[in-house]
Each structure stands twice: as C-alpha cells, then as structure tokens.
Amino acid sequence: MTASYLVPARSAEAEVEVKRSRFLARVVRVDDEPRARAVVDQARRTHWDARHHCSAFVLGPDRAVERSSDDGEPAGTAGAPMLEVLRGAEVSDVIVVVTRWFGGTLLGAGGLVRAYGDAARAGLDAAGTVRRERLHEFLVVLLHTDAGRVESELRTRGVHVLDTSYSTDVTLHVGVSDPASLETWLAELTGGRTTARAVGTSWHDVR
C-alpha cells in the first residue's frame, strides 16, 4: 500500500504562446472525478470565447484513475501529452485544463503536442507540490510539567502534532510514519511514564 504521494501545493495558472495561439493552463487539486469535471466546466464558462479546453487528471494515492481529453484537437495531441506531464511529475489528486485561443496558424501534430505539454508543465511548476503521507495517529497523555518539553522534542524528531488539548493533563494528538520510533522516544523523554494509544490512520499533507 502506498505510504505517500505528491499533490499540488496550490491552484495555479500559467500561459504559453506559440505562433500567436495562447495556451492557458490551470492546475487544481481535486479528490474525485465530479470535482475534476467541474473544473473543466468552469473553464468553459469563464473562457467561453476559446476554441478548446483540453484536460488531464490523475486521482488516488496509487494514481489509479487517469483520464484525458483532446476536446476537438487531433487525437493524441493535447490530453495525452498533458497526462504524460502529470505522470512524469508523479503527482496525483490533480487536474490540469489547458484552454487554447487559436492564433491563426496551424501548429501541426508535433507543435500541438509540445505546446500542450509545455503549458501543463508550466502550470504544474507554478502550483508546486507537497507530499501527502499516510500517518499512524496516536493520543499521548502528558503531565503539564512534561508537555512543553516533550512536544518540542517530538516535533524536532519529525512527529506531526495534529492537535493539543489541555485539562488535568495535556493530550497530544500526533501522527507518525513509524509507530515504533514514537514508543522509543516517549520512553526516553518521559522515563517510561507515558505511552501512546493508537487511534487509527489518515492522510495528511506534510511539508
């Protein structure tokens, strides 16, 4: 099972121009096909004067869902090269829509492949990526006298502190990729006074 994968860090746009044809790429993070198709529909409404709104998207931790559309361009000249850019970047949960305004000069199949690929690449570069990891989540109950020191040390060692709650004790909700290390660190930091209680796993963006 995949433990981590890349997703877009933000939505972004980038534009390239080839022989007066404009190619505007928009990259958006999405988590399902309806949302991906909604991004395409939005591009059609926003840029109603453009001739083509070609797209490619990849979904899931294992990048198991892939779709692309040439939207009226010659087969294989738009959606396929855009999808190859996403594959090459190993990014998922992403859609790229490239809107084209025709500049009056035919680019030929090779020219279209390069232009759509370049536009998708520029859009992805503008969006950047962040790693998404499957974390094992735990609750750690600490004495108030230990909490600040232990939380700081855990953060230093790469533990993700997802939440902190204060009552009679202090409870840290943490996420880690290696549960065994967490137990070792807690034993070391608290003299064996504290253990972690597992509460499940979930996906989180980590930076």
Degrees to nearest 5, angle at CA 10 with 7 and 15: 105
Residue 148 burial class via C-beta count within 10 angstroms: exposed 0-12, middle 13-18, buried 19 and up? exposed
Confidence of residue 195 (pLDDT cuts 50, 70, 90): confident
Identify the residue whose tokens are 């006074």.
193
Ordered DSSP codes for 146-172: HHHHHHHHHHHTT-EEEEEEESSSEEE
Share of the chain above pLDDT 90, in %: 92
CATH code for the part of the protein at 4-127? 3.30.230.30
Does residue 137 have a pLDDT over 70?
A: yes
Residue 65 has a CB neighbour count (10 Å cut-off) of: 14
Q: Where are the domains of the chain?
A: 4-127, 131-206
Can you read off the two tokens belonging to residue 157?
Answer: 């060692």
Task: Tell me the per-residue pLDDT of 2-44, one tens digit each, with 9 for 90 and over.
Answer: 889 999 999 999 999 999 999 999 999 999 999 999 999 999 9
Average pLDDT score, the chain = 95
Residue 1 has a pLDDT of 67
CATH T-level fold of 131-206: Alpha-Beta Plaits (3.30.70)
Residue 192 has a pLDDT of 87
Does residue 166 have a pLDDT over 70?
A: yes
> CA–CA distance from 26 to each of 139, 146, 168, 206 (Å)?
40, 48, 50, 24
pTM of the predicted model as reported, rounded to 2 decimal places: 0.86
Task: Tell me the per-residue pLDDT of 89-119, one tens digit each, with 9 for 90 and over.
Answer: 999 999 999 999 999 899 999 999 999 999 9
Does residue 80 have a pLDDT over 70?
A: yes
Residue 2 has a pLDDT of 83
Residue 207 has a pLDDT of 73
